[in-house]
Structure 1
């Protein structure tokens, strides 16, 4: 990773909030030189105070940023992108790579503000905050092989990167992994509530739910088996798990419900992209 990041050149991170901060921490942990990074954040990026003290440059306005970064990472909230993008134009070289992690903002919308240039649209998820995220990414036609490798190195500092062939698939990625952590958190909530209904103390039920969800996730990552096989491994014939799965795997059970949820998230992402 450090070797790949050595080719990143000068990086401008626009937005020092949770996601931008998680990416920056990952870069530095992977060996990126703090002097190669500048953070542009009008609020002073209070979450990054400890990092800035290590040599990362912090700017409150575009006029304070040196022109010609090799890569610009757009990590601002989608609703402020329209106002932010025009202010970046004076900072860009012709071959500056733009990597956007703002949900619902298409490559076309970025090109409309910044002109025709290499753009990668990416969708990370919140486990990036603990270096356990996963990112879906789409490059436009102007992204060269070395540029894609640069984007890969920067994005994978917080977890794996999966590239898609069509930009529309980023909306599907949003429905699965972008919004997916919320589904898992809801599972933990519901599991704890079910434990209370079964007679457990609420605090104990929540501890059991948290660790069960987290432990099962870690097992899926470490195991070479597919989730379906791991499920079968836990399910003894006519046992307790089978009794529960007969409810969850019914025709109107967990699978169809989750498919409806993911498609609803995808459809909303598509609508936001068109807005």
Structure 2
């Protein structure tokens, strides 16, 4: 799913022409469907993709990454130039990737998230020592075409996993809770769900615009911006202070 979403984003934004993309998957009908929809080159093996591309994206389950790396090494044997290898496999370190390939490979580890499926990626990435600034910039540009991306130290990727990688699940749960509140107040479920989802979506966009104007600062007091003690939004936010939602979210991001 994630690899398909990335391909769709790259083609639709014009970042990469469809004929310059090749894809393989253990489930061939998935590849055939992408080839038909996007015009990418669908092939039947990882080695075919590795022999075709100068930037490879490993988008498999963590337990399958070592095997894919072996295919990449075989396809690159005897070649003077090796591809940049990008992995979106959760928890697979740069050290492991470089060990399964070799230290001469330029390797980038990416932590994406599910909003990539709707063209709203929020990702961070870290590069190994073989990557030049130009190599990292290529990957950053590719990810930037799909949403937002940030270069970080690999040691920060665990925090990224807890925040943006797992964060959508926390947001979905909160939206569901808002919808439940609307139903308890008398709204129908479809109306409550649509209002809650739109509120979450547009609040995030508003927050992002404000963040762009105030880089680096904590957005203290945003929930109080509507008015004084008699304001309805402020009154409604007080129960969240009682349960310390801010601390709960911080713990989720850390754990």
User: Residues 192-243 of structure 1: CA distance to partner in whole angstroms, max 9, x if unpaired?
Assistant: 1122223332222212211111121122233456654543323443222222
User: Residues 149-183 of structure 1: CA distance to partner in whole angstroms, max 9, x if unpaired?
Assistant: 2111222221111111x211001001110111111
CA displacement at 1:81 relative to structure 2: 1.7
Confirm or deny that 1:70 pairs with 2:54.
yes
Residue matched to 2:249: 258
5+ residue gaps, structure 2, are none
Residue matched to 1:212: 199
Residue matched to 1:267: none
Confirm or deny that 1:30 pairs with 2:22.
no
TM-score, normalised to structure 1, is 0.81
CA displacement at 1:123 relative to structure 2: 0.6
Give the alignment of 1:91-110 within 5 angstroms: 91-92=75-76, 93=79, 94-110=81-97
Q: Write the distance in 1 (CA, Å) between the matches of 2:189 and 2:31.
A: 33
Residue matched to 1:155: 143
Q: Write the distance in 1 (CA, Å) between the matches of 2:200 and 2:125.
A: 27
Query: Structure 1 residues 178, 45: closer, same or farther in 2, change over 3 A?
Result: farther
Residue matched to 1:234: 226
What SS does the corresponding residue of 1:162 show, helix, strand or coil? strand
Higher RCO, 1 vs 2 (CA within 8 Å, ≥6 residues apart): 1
Query: Structure 1 residues 244, 47: closer, same or farther in 2, change over 3 A?
Result: farther
5+ residue gaps, structure 1, are 1-17, 265-275
Query: Structure 1 residues 229, 51: closer, same or farther in 2, change over 3 A?
Result: farther
Residue matched to 2:238: 246
TM-score, normalised to structure 2, is 0.87
